[in-house]
Amino acid sequence: MRSLRRSKSSGFTLVEMVMVIIILGVMVLGVSSFVIMGTRIFVESTTVDQVLSQSRFVMERMTREIRNAVPNSLRVTKTPVSFQCIEFVPIQASASYLDLPISPEPADSAGTVMTPSLGINKDHRMLVYPLRPADIYSATPTATIGRLFDVKDYSSDSNTVTFDRAVRFSEASPRRRFFMVDNAVSYCFFANGNIRRYASYNMFNVTQPTATQMGGDAKSALMAENIVIKDGNWPIFYTPGTLINNAVVQLTPQFEVNGQAFQYQHQVQVINVP
């Protein structure tokens, strides 16, 4: 009798094993659903945070670069279809000139200027009193009269800038100001959701170049993604400056990610006194 009782009390029955398996399965299913939900929330929040960071970065960089643009150098795509670009020429250095060959004075191959805080790079060009984009983009730096010329040499000891030929600037700046410039920069918003920055392309274009003419994706940097263009509402609106007001660039890009949308309302003032 004792041996029989011991055999009956040891081990589990089939029903008990099945019940344990069912209970464990339900517990694993419940725990896994929480894990999956938590992972999904983490991935979605990380994606949203990444898009927010990209959008803030590109807006901040655009703002800083546009504020540092040469007066009257901005131009925006007039009839955007698949993209809209804003083009401008950054100021590499700027200061006042003391004596430059300016019309109606005779042409000369040298002038006297104040040294900018960033110095003068001989690879840059000297620009005086640009009143419209054509004064920059349609300029001929190798000509003898104009507003933009190549620089051959500069002596910080005598504050003398030298050109490789006798030149004459078309018009004097009321503030006796000159700019040192290099290449143009463009920011392009595409209907496919990308924002790209273009640089180091030929800036001397009578009409604003397209993204393909600037070199396409091979000569650009991807700045942000997930921008949305709805109903032809492009994000760049440019108001040229007047005699009493500075130029204003209105930026209103809209971004969407994981069903969430957010839009910027940003104004950038550009100094309009060359």
Residue 26's pLDDT is what? 76
| Domain stops at, among 140, 160, 181 | 181
Residue 34 is assigned to a structural domain of this protein: no
Mean pLDDT by 10 residues, the chain (274 residues): 52 75 76 68 69 90 95 94 96 96 95 93 94 94 95 94 96 95 95 94 93 89 93 93 86 90 91 78
Helix, strand, coil % over all residues of the chain, rounded to 5: 25, 35, 40
Whether 121 and 254 share a structural domain: no
Residue 65's pLDDT is what? 96
Residue 165's pLDDT is what? 94
Domain that holds residue 199: 47-89+183-270
Report the number of distinct structural domains present in the chain. Answer: 2
Structure tokens given for 195: 């924002």
CB count, 10 Å around CB of 210? 15
Residue 41's pLDDT is what? 65
In the chain the first and final C-alpha atoms are separated, in Å, by 113
Q: Cα separations (Å) of 87 from 46, 55, 143, 197?
A: 33, 19, 24, 10
Residue 45's pLDDT is what? 66
pTM of the predicted structure, to 2 decimals: 0.83
Whether 73 and 191 share a structural domain: yes
Residue 1's pLDDT is what? 46
Residue 228's pLDDT is what? 94
Whether 219 and 143 share a structural domain: no
The values of phi and psi at residue 79, to 5°, are: -125, 75
Residue 24 is assigned to a structural domain of this protein: no
Structure tokens given for 13: 């029955």
| Domain stops at, among 157, 181, 205 | 181
